């Protein structure tokens, strides 16, 4: 199916949908100038770090406990790569649709905070957000726009213990409360499920798509590349999210008028 035709077809289905799940990965932020990567450390994907360990080990919970300076070194580099990035048209398209349809939910793997910056409210940040920091000992927390000027590794001003970002590092469990929220939303059901800019390698990303397909619910992938779910979704849009998603939302708005 030609791109224009699939965009119109998806827009028509979206116009009729009340509850919609958007699952987003790094690809949705690509047009904001951020690299597409696997996991929180993928800007180093396949490249050894200067500290002689792979990036997954450097950015692990175990390394943070043993050698926090190493973990924070690379967290700082990742934050610097994200610094100054602004939401793009795809982020804003979801926020606009959310205002029109209260049943819209976004599940993101991203830690860049761009969905929130675009105004998305109904959001599950399954890997957390780099901007939010918390003490590892006491209840002190803060949200920062940038790590610029922050001593790394940072220490808590209240108790002098190590501070960490509220993100899921390698080897750590996903937040139980966020998983429970996702499963509760799935129990309520959805009319459409979108996978946008994610390689779909993780079970909690693939499972909602498989569940929707098994229930006869419309599934959509927006990704210029081929992924694990490309051959099973009902609609495949091979285009950048910042181009495809606003066009789909515009098509849906035209149908709703």
Q: Where are the alpha helices (DSSP H) in the chain?
A: 3-16, 55-58, 61-66, 68-82, 89-100, 114-118, 176-188, 203-214, 241-256
**What distances in angstroms separate CA 5 from CA 77, 88, 97, one per listed residue?**
41, 24, 21
Helix, strand, coil share of the chain (percent; to 5): 40, 20, 40
Helix or strand run (H / E) with residue 192 = strand 192-196
Whether residue 74 contacts residue 59, with contact meaning beta carbons closer than 8 Å, is answered with yes
What distance in Å separates the CA atoms of residue 257 and residue 255, rounded to the nearest whole number? Answer: 6
146: number of Cβ within 10 Å: 12
5 is catalytic: no
Q: Which entry of 67, 91, 115, 127 is annotated as an active-site residue?
A: 127
208: number of Cβ within 10 Å: 23
Closest CA to 6 of 201, 248, 254, 206: 248
What is the CB-side half-sphere exposure of residue 239 using CA atoms within 13 A?
17
Query: C-alpha angle with apex 30: 27 to 36, nearest 5 degrees?
Result: 60
Strand, helix or coil at 93?
helix
> What residues act catalytically?
127
């Amino acid at each position: 199916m030609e791109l224009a035709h699939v965009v119109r077809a998806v827009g028509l289905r979206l116009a009729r949908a009340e509850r919609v799940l958007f699952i987003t990965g790094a690809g949705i932020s690509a047009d904001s100038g951020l690299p597409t990567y696997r996991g929180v450390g993928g800007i180093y994907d396949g490249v050894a770090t200067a500290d002689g360990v792979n990036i997954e080990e450097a950015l692990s919970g175990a390394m943070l406990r043993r050698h926090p300076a190493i973990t924070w070194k690379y967290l700082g580099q990742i934050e610097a790569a994200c610094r100054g990035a602004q939401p793009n048209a795809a982020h804003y398209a979801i926020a606009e649709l959310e205002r029109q349809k209260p049943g819209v939910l976004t599940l993101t793997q991203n830690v860049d905070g761009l969905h929130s910056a675009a105004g998305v409210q109904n959001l599950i940040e399954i890997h957390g957000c780099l901007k939010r920091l918390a003490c590892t000992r006491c209840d002190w927390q803060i949200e920062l726009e940038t790590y610029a000027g922050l001593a790394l590794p940072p220490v808590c001003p209240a108790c002098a213990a190590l501070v960490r970002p509220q993100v899921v590092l390698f080897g750590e469990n996903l937040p139980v409360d966020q998983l429970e929220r996702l499963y509760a939303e799935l129990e309520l059901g959805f009319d459409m499920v979108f996978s946008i800019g994610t390689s779909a390698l993780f079970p909690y990303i693939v499972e909602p798509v498989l569940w929707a397909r098994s229930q006869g619910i419309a599934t959509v992938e927006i990704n210029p590349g081929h992924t694990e779910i490309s051959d099973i979704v009902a609609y495949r849009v091979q285009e950048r999210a910042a181009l495809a998603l606003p066009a789909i939302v515009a098509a849906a708005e035209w149908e709703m008028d």
